[in-house]
Amino acid sequence: MNTNPATSSWSGPLATAAASVALAAAELGTSQWASVVRAWCVPYLFQGMEEVFKNDADPALGLQLMLDRLTTTLRTSAASGFGALSTPAGKREQGTPVEQVTGEHYGRLFREFSKESFASEPARLLNERLTRNDVTLPDLKTARVLDAGCGGGRYSVAWHLLGAKDVLGVDLSEPGIADARARADAMKLHGVRFEHADVVELPLERDSFDVVFSNGVLHHTRDWARGIQGLVSVLKPGGLGWLYLIENPGGYFWDVIDLARQVMTNEVHEQARVAVAMLGIPANRVFYMLDHVMVPINLRLTSEEITGELRKAGARDIRRLTRGTDFDRVERIYQRDPYATEKYGVGEHRFIFTK
């Protein structure tokens, strides 16, 4: 487990403004109405942050104004009396294993994806990231690909659409695997399979896959380092590994998400998803907003931590990707957008490697 706290960009007036938001959200109370209002804070924070980041000015002032407005809104809401009209909200179950909570969280988010968001969009994004970073792929016509932590199977299907002969997606999420199988069957896909498995305890043979792909998964587990060992173990010598983990430092982007996590600490996942969807926000956008906000474990790691674990596991030719799609944070840094490092820290940690 990562024992180092994530580096925060909040300081001075921004730190005070963020603390005021968290306090005002907590003071709303425990009614269902209060839970809905707290859930609506998530899209407000995301949209507000994105609007601030569109400008070339120092984002600190814009973020402070956004946070101050949200605090005022929450305090006005608390004094409105609407909370008294609502019954007590549900609570998160205590004692439920983290793995089960995480699996159900993502399973419910993924099942709402449209066909476009599920299949062709991930294939396009994956192809752009591979192409822009000049990643050489093995011969996919004969390749076995492992998607470790496949969720609803989006990127498993993406590898198939890019030409992979045999793709295995594994995940602990029962609703995620069920949805992935149903979608693959509906699309009449051949060569894409889905199985229940723990990405930290992969029940697979050593040296059995030409490509191992883990995209934003291990930072949600109890033992990300052990997960890396398993990925490298099942990769064939000379094969291609892909690993994406949350970055530290992450700039204001991750600070806003951490604030949203604080606001939503005790909220029920499904109730939050429904509340955000009520605003008419598309399912893939709801996923983007609630992804890291509602999951129990959300580690942020440095490049040195990740590279060190890859090396210990036996990986070699490790390379951190410095480009992405147009909306990727690392691409905005590559393009030298004004204040990009303040906004995004070092950008997404996407690594490729072999062994």
State the CATH number of the domain containing residue 113: 3.40.50.150
Asked if residue 233 lies in contact with residue 308, where contact means CB atoms within 8 angstroms, the answer is no
Asked if residue 192 lies in contact with residue 134, where contact means CB atoms within 8 angstroms, the answer is no
Percent of the chain beyond pLDDT 90?
75
Flag whether pLDDT at 276 surpasses 50.
Answer: yes
The residue range of the domain holding 36 is 12-90+251-294
CA distance 225 to 310: 8
Mean pLDDT score, 40-54? 97
* Same domain (yes/no): 126, 227: yes
Any domain includes 2 = no
| Least trusted range by pLDDT, from 14-18, 30-34, 145-149, 225-229 | 30-34
Amino acid identity at 341: T
Mean pLDDT score, 151-161? 94
* Same domain (yes/no): 57, 79: yes
* Same domain (yes/no): 244, 116: yes
* Same domain (yes/no): 198, 345: yes
pLDDT for the residue 8: 83
Flag whether pLDDT at 303 surpasses 90.
Answer: yes
Any domain includes 130 = yes
Q: Cis link prior to 88 (omega < 30° from 0)?
A: no
* Same domain (yes/no): 86, 217: no
CA distance 328 to 344: 10
How many alpha carbons fall within 13 Å on the CB side of residue 259? 34
Flag whether pLDDT at 255 surpasses 90.
Answer: yes
CA distance 324 to 337: 14
Percent of the chain beyond pLDDT 70?
88
Packed helices 269-277 and 98-110: angle between N→C axes, nearest 10 degrees: 20
SS (H, E, C) the chain: CCCCCCCCCCCHHHHHHHHHHHHHHHCCCCEHHHHHHHHHHHHHHHHHHHHHHHCCCCHHHHHHHHHHHHHHHHHHHHCCCHHHHCCECCCCCCCCCHHHHHHHHHHHHHCCCCHHHHCHHHHHHHHHHHHHCCCCCCCHHHCEEEEECCCCCHHHHHHHHCCCCEEEEEECCHHHHHHHHHHHHHCCCCCEEEEECCCCCCCCCCCCEEEEEEECCHHHCCCHHHHHHHHHHHEEEEEEEEEEECECCCHHHHHHHHHHHHHCCCCCHHHHHHHHHCCCCCHHHHHHHHHHHHCCCCCCECHHHHHHHHHHHCCEEEEECCCCCCCCHHHHHHCCCCCHHHHHCCCCEEEEEEC
Any domain includes 6 = no
Q: Over the chain, what is the mean pLDDT?
A: 90
CA distance 289 to 56: 24
**Number of domains present in the structure of the chain:** 2
Any domain includes 1 = no
CA distance 275 to 277: 5
Any domain includes 3 = no
Any domain includes 260 = yes
* Same domain (yes/no): 224, 207: yes
* Same domain (yes/no): 118, 237: yes
* Same domain (yes/no): 61, 167: no
Mean pLDDT score, 136-158? 95
* Same domain (yes/no): 210, 322: yes
Flag whether pLDDT at 2 surpasses 50.
Answer: no
Amino acid identity at 91: K
Q: Which residues of 5-32 are buried (b: 16+ CB within 10 A; e: fewer)?
A: ebebbbeeebeebbebbbebbbebeebb
* Same domain (yes/no): 176, 242: yes
pTM of the full structure: 0.88
Flag whether pLDDT at 99 surpasses 80.
Answer: no
Residue 280: pLDDT band by 50, 70, 90 thresholds? very high
Asked if residue 103 lies in contact with residue 173, where contact means CB atoms within 8 angstroms, the answer is yes
* Same domain (yes/no): 47, 191: no
pLDDT for the residue 78: 86
Mean pLDDT score, 32-42? 95
* Same domain (yes/no): 43, 170: no
